[in-house]
């Protein structure tokens, strides 16, 4: 079993890449561990959960709320979970968020780890320690930054991943390429979703490259005062659209990236919008959308990237080079109205 350890400011995470859930018992004591998953993952992979105490949640972003957290806490109490219990989130971004959040507050903090089962969770949601819940239309409004003790990759879970979830995950991969990795952008232009789905080696390499890219950014700036902000490319507008228009996260940030490219044209002189749009389209992601500008701006201005009357907006100078620009809310309102 190969292990790579990455250090953060006051914790470290062990990555077990391409190993399989069968190795979990070497990492955590089966008698003192509770797995948290959702009905979709549990039904498709029941065998993988055999022998493990498991809490099964209803799937979907609409359940990433305090009520679910309360229900999990009640189940942990009923199971007599204590401070020596390890929680392991086996699922996509909703499961990793809820698991990391519950593990951070139950008895003031338990050890936790993740087995991400979607492309999005493998390259993004499982990494970085931000774990929280939504409050109404406000995404991730309440949460913590606390790093998982381990992340175990089991690519076998991807066998049951619906097509739309593949597309969802590729939105974050395209985001990484746009802000930091022009070479990967060129690779994405050349390939297609089919290429990656058809070749285990290519998807493994792509996932590990993205997991590493994000990990390195977080290592440099765990508490998001600088470089880590780049990971929010497409997310400011995307989050404001996501819960209001019932889009998947990937769809929402794809639209967010499209408009961020247009805002970049105005503010940084970015000239490659068409290239970004054609890659998004190639991976079956939406680009332009009709939305109520005022309604969306009213949600957007509550974004966590706001500092008083300024918003830290992520733009592109060129493909592979993201930058953060502080835009006054007044100017941003006008820009959004004119989009």
Q: How far is the CB of 167 from ligand GLY (least distance, A)?
A: 19
Active site residue 172: yes
Catalytic residue, from 47, 108, 194, 201: name it.
108
Active site residue 194: no
Active site residue 262: no
Contacts of 273 (CB under 8 A, 6+ apart): 258, 261, 262, 264, 265
Dihedral sign of CA atoms 181, 187, 192, 195 in order: negative
Active site residue 318: no
Q: Check residue 302 and report its DSSP letter.
A: T
Nearer to ligand GLY, 64 or 130 (CB): 130
What are the strands of the beta sheet with 4-7, ordered from one edge? 4-7, 12-16, 150-152, 111-116, 86-91, 33-38, 53-57
Catalytic residue, from 224, 229, 243, 312: name it.
224
Please state whether beta strands 12-16 and 150-152 pair in parallel, antiparallel, or not at all (unpaired).
Answer: parallel
34 has which bridge partners?
A: 53, 87
Catalytic residue, from 131, 232, 243, 312: name it.
232
What is the Cα–Cα distance from 306 to 326, expressed in whole angstroms? 9
Q: How far is the CB of 30 from ligand GLY (least distance, A)?
A: 26
Q: How far is the CB of 130 from ligand GLY (least distance, A)?
A: 3
Helix, strand, coil content of the chain in percent (nearest 5)? 55, 20, 25
Catalytic residue, from 172, 222, 242, 333: name it.
172
Q: Is residue 86 helix, strand or coil?
A: strand
Nearer to ligand GLY, 131 or 264 (CB): 131
- Give the residues lining the site for ligand GLY (CB under 6 A): 125, 128-131
Nearer to ligand GLY, 130 or 176 (CB): 130
Q: How far is the CB of 309 from ligand GLY (least distance, A)?
A: 26
Give the nearest residue (CB) to ligand GLY. Answer: 128
Instruction: Give yes or no for a contact between 238 and 280, defined as CB atoms under 8 angstroms apart.
Output: no
Q: How far is the CB of 284 from ligand GLY (least distance, A)?
A: 24
- Helices 235-242 + 293-300 axis angle, to 10: 110
- Helices 249-267 + 163-180 axis angle, to 10: 30
Q: How far is the CB of 102 from ligand GLY (least distance, A)?
A: 14
Nearer to ligand GLY, 220 or 334 (CB): 220
Active site residue 214: yes
Active site residue 176: no
Nearer to ligand GLY, 59 or 129 (CB): 129
Catalytic residue, from 40, 64, 175, 235: name it.
235
Active site residue 228: yes
Catalytic residue, from 239, 242, 305, 333: name it.
239
Nearer to ligand GLY, 45 or 130 (CB): 130
For residue 308, the tally of other CB atoms under 10 A from its CB is 7
User: Active-site residues: which are they?
Assistant: 108, 130, 172, 214, 224, 228, 232, 235, 239, 249
């Amino acid at each position: 079993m190969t292990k790579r350890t990455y250090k953060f400011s006051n914790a470290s995470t062990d990555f077990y890449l391409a190993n399989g859930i069968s190795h979990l018992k070497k990492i955590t004591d089966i008698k003192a561990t509770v797995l948290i998953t959702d009905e979709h993952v549990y039904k498709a992979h029941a065998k993988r959960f055999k022998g493990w105490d498991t809490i099964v949640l209803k799937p979907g972003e609409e359940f990433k709320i305090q009520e679910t957290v309360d229900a999990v806490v009640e189940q942990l109490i009923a199971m007599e979970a204590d401070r020596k219990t390890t929680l392991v989130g086996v699922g996509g971004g909703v499961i990793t968020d809820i698991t990391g959040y519950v593990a951070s507050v139950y008895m003031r903090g338990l050890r936790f780890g993740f087995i991400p089962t979607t492309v999005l969770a493998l390259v993004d949601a499982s990494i970085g320690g931000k774990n929280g819940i939504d409050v109404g239309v406000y995404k991730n409004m309440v949460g913590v930054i606390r790093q998982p003790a381990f992340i175990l990759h089991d690519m076998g879970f991807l066998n049951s991943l619906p097509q739309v979830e593949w597309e969802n995950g590729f939105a974050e991969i395209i985001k990484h390429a746009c802000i930091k990795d022009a070479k990967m952008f060129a690779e994405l232009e050349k390939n297609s979703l089919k290429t990656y789905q058809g070749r285990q080696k290519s998807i493994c390499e792509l996932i590990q490259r993205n997991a590493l890219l994000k990990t390195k950014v977080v290592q440099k700036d765990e508490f998001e005062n600088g470089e880590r902000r780049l990971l929010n490319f497409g997310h400011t507008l995307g989050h404001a659209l996501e819960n209001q228009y019932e889009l998947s996260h990937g769809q929402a940030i794809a639209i967010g990236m499209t408009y961020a490219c247009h805002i970049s044209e105005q503010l940084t002189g970015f000239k490659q919008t068409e290239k970004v749009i054609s890659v998004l389209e190639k991976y079956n992601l939406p680009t332009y959308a009709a939305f109520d500008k005022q309604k969306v701006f009213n949600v957007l201005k509550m974004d966590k990237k706001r500092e008083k009357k300024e918003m830290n907006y992520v733009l592109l100078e060129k493909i592979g080079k993201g930058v953060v620009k502080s835009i006054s809310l007044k100017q941003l309102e006008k820009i959004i109205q004119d989009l």
